[in-house]
Chain A
Amino acid sequence: MTPETTTTTALLDLSGVSKGFPGVQALDDVRLELRHGEVLALVGENGAGKSTLMKLLAGIYTPDAGTFRLNGEEFSIEGPRHAQELGIAIIHQEFNLMPDLTVAQNIFIGREPRSGGVFLDDRALNRSAQELFDRLGLTIDPTERVEHLTVARQQMVEIAKALSFNAKVLIMDEPTAALNDAEVEVLFELIQRFRTPDTGVIYISHRMDELARISDRITVLRDGRYIDTLETATSTVGEVISLMVGRTITGEQRPGQVQRSPDVVLSVAGLSTKKLLKNVGFELHRGEILGFAGLMGAGRTELARAIVGADPIESGRITVDGREVQIGNPADAARLGIGYLSEDRKRLGVVLEQDVATNIVLSTLPAFTSKAGFMRDGAIIRTAREFIGRLRIKTPSANQLVKNLSGGNQQKVVIAKWLAKDCDILIFDEPTRGIDVGAKDEIYALLEELARQGKSIIMISSELPEVLRMSHRIAVMCEGRLNAVLDNAEATQEIVMDYATRFSAEGTVS
């Protein structure tokens, strides 16, 4: 370990790393090398062990085995604070801010400037935060409370916080999952600014298109094992994916020309809300997948929430199976056979402290109750196992607590829950966010299968290729208006984007 070799020693070098949880070997003899000045992408299916590896680096878990080297020197991590001191900063997959504190208070938590040794110096605190934002080119008010920021801006605060440590190693666990394209650009800009000859970035993402843009090399994990590391410049997306899943995935396809059923199962007319929606109207046919495209904030989630009664409607008519209905809350909607899969699954979709089986049958519990009023545990487990198999949920058993599953697998649990409910109309809000390519494919197949069975599906998605691939028709929203409903055959990315950015067009669609 002579100092002259610094150019060849890696910034961060992990080898032989193993970590087990009860019933799961999350990591098994994994290695990873981060070079000076590079962005290393870390990819793998849901549950491959990416987040676990990063949590070891952040000092949250202790490894069962393995050596860690920073600039060639072996070290061990005693806790989150110690990791920060070593220059390792991490942006976690889960939301990790204190919503009741201000932006500046969040960034400098644990490092508050003080005057006279005792009193907090909030003026200095806000000044430091402002300087940090100026340096990063962000416009965020340091005195705003975090709970009042949009998800994207909260994400920016997390990133600013991580960068404020003068970190050498920056780890990002799916930082773009909740960002729109413009915000992703800002993030990439930040990463480029951070990258210097003595820093490095580990970047975890399921979005394959990002890897080519941002990363220098790609390390692939599968089932807790190290598979390979590729140079980004000389490898294809197909290669990476087949290393990830260990099999080949069918390419992009458009839905075949289906004979659209004349039955209208859901019709919405003149729907407006106080906040955003203006006179939205559309029809959903039996067996149809109707995609909703648009920029973030276009009002797609608001539309879904208004339809299922989660938010109040100002005016408008909703007709289900030809009958006009009043939907006061999501329970009414469920009774009418309309299921809504929230985009915020972590907060609104699963009960983290309960096991997988309970979560899957949660919304259909009455069906699993015997005449005498007892739970039919056997039937619950059987149903749960069926969905675990169908969606390939990676869990040691149906009795594992949901909070112990990887992020993507938690999302699959939510999808299973709504599938178990057997609704006729399903509204999926960003169904594949944070889900790996293999599982995405399975979810696509599932949606198609459901449509074939005669279910009607509304799919809200910010990923245009996904919308184009899946939808029979595509509705495009902008600023709370429905700007167009296109047949799949006539839709291209350009046309959809055009409608999605027609900012004050008069949107009337028949």
Chain B
Amino acid sequence: MRARLRGQIQQLLAFASLIAIVVFFSIANDRFLTWANVTGILLAATVVGLLALGTTFVIITGGIDLSIGTGMTLSAVMTGVFLTYLGMPLWLGVILAILFGGLLGLINGVNVAVLKIPPFIATLAMMLVAAGLSLVISGTAPIYFKETPDFVRLATGSLIPGIRFPNGVLIFIIVAIVAGVILKKTLLGRYTFSIGSNEEATELSGVNVTKWKIAIYTFAGLFTGLAGVLLASRLSSAQPALGMGYELEAIAAVVIGGTSLQGGKGSIVGTVIGALIMAVLTNGLRIMSIPQEWQSVAVGAVILIAVYLDILRRKNA
């Protein structure tokens, strides 16, 4: 009982910080709290947020995934290949691109769970491989979606009539809910926590840890694929040189959301809030015309503060 209460307080605190930042920026600048700007923030949170959702699972197992940034780029390039080069129908190309992200995750999972390569190294290698392949496959030039003009509407169009609410954000909300349910209510989620909490004990309890780890990394890869698709749609092109650095932003969002890098602890709600904090911060600082360099400094400071507060909370608990 106490434990559950404590978990809720933790999320409440993260949420309170988000509100505080929003209030601060809306007072500081009246352009901040406009519909256009808010949907802009949400759309910006979508791509990093999707990556963060998948990575939350990996981090709760006590692992890390550095390949999500460039993996996303490669998935975007593959979307271009499927839709533009191969001329596939929109739905098929999109599904294949998402599955391609899953394939990258599967390879990570096998490297980590079967070959026992530490996650940091396995996914670092995958990060470089994906970055290189994106350039090779695209011939270092962006791929545009001439054959499928509707593709762009996937992220930026609005399904809800009358309101300009980007589909990308809608997709993110739905996917986040699904991820939350899977983490809390299914075997995959339960074993994610269990492995991160005590991998050896989980194995000794008769759970096939190898199999489940592969499943978890593969599952996380699907988010990478989806992020690639939405990024390509938003930019109306697959940009092969983009992507490096997204993985760190996503990991930062996860950590700000209270997920422990030691594994065993974390939540989807936390990650969503973390992603929003990152997006609000970047947007707010830009609106206030803080130079790019200083934005980066501010984000770094926020990560330190967030994680330290989390440590304090745990100590007093």
Contacts and interface: CB of A to CB of B under 8 A. Distances in A.
B202 A109 contact: yes
Contacts, number: 71
Contacts of B189: 120
Interface in A78-99: 79-81, 84, 92, 95-99
A120 B204 CA distance: 21
Contacts of B208: 81
Q: Is the interface of A mostly helix, strand, loop or mixed?
A: loop
B185 A80 contact: no
Size class of the contact patch on chain B: 20 to 34
B204 A100 contact: no
A183 interface: no
Interface residues of A, number: 28
Contacts of B198: 96-99
Contacts of B274: none
A80 B205 CA distance: 7
A17 interface: no
A119 interface: yes
B27 interface: no
A112 B3 contact: no
Contacts of A119: 181, 185-186
B186 A98 contact: no
Nearest to A158: B201
A58 B206 CA distance: 10
Contact of A100 (B186, B205, B264): B264
Contact of B197 (A81, A100, A110): A100
B313 interface: no
A459 B206 CA distance: 40
Contact of A92 (B3, B197, B204): B204
A148 B194 contact: no
A140 interface: no
A105 interface: yes
B190 interface: yes
27 contacts: A79-B206, A80-B205, A81-B207, A81-B208, A84-B206, A92-B204, A96-B200, A98-B264, A99-B198, A99-B264, A100-B265, A101-B190, A101-B193, A105-B190, A109-B190, A109-B207, A110-B205, A110-B206, A112-B190, A114-B187, A119-B181, A119-B185, A119-B186, A120-B186, A120-B190, A144-B3, A148-B3
Interface in A105-127: 105, 109-110, 112, 114, 118-120
B203 interface: yes
A101 B197 contact: yes
Contact of B185 (A102, A120, A144): A120
B1 interface: yes
Q: Is the interface of B mostly helix, strand, loop or mixed?
A: helix
A141 B187 contact: no
Contact of A145 (B3, B194, B200, B201): B3
Contacts of A60: 204
A57 to B, nearest CB: 13
A143 B1 contact: yes
A480 B92 CA distance: 69
Contacts of A99: 197-198, 264
B1 A100 contact: no
Q: Which 7 A-B pairs have the closest CB atoms?
A: A81-B206, A98-B197, A100-B264, A100-B197, A145-B3, A96-B201, A109-B205
A112 B206 contact: no
Contacts of A145: 3
B180 to A, nearest CB: 13
Contacts of B187: 112, 114, 120
Interface in B238-269: 264-265
Contacts of A102: 3
Interface in A141-190: 141, 143-145, 148
B192 to A, nearest CB: 11
Contacts of B203: 80
B168 interface: no
Interface in B178-232: 181, 185-187, 189-190, 193-194, 196-198, 200-208
Contacts of A114: 187
A60 B204 CA distance: 8
Interface in B1-28: 1-4
A95 B198 CA distance: 10
Residue picked from A58, A102, A119, A141, most chain B C-beta under 10 Å: A119
B194 A98 contact: yes
A100 B206 contact: no
A284 B4 CA distance: 45
Residue picked from B189, B198, B202, B205, most chain A C-beta under 10 Å: B205
Nearest to B262: A100
A321 to B, nearest CB: 33
A105 B3 CA distance: 14
A301 to B, nearest CB: 19
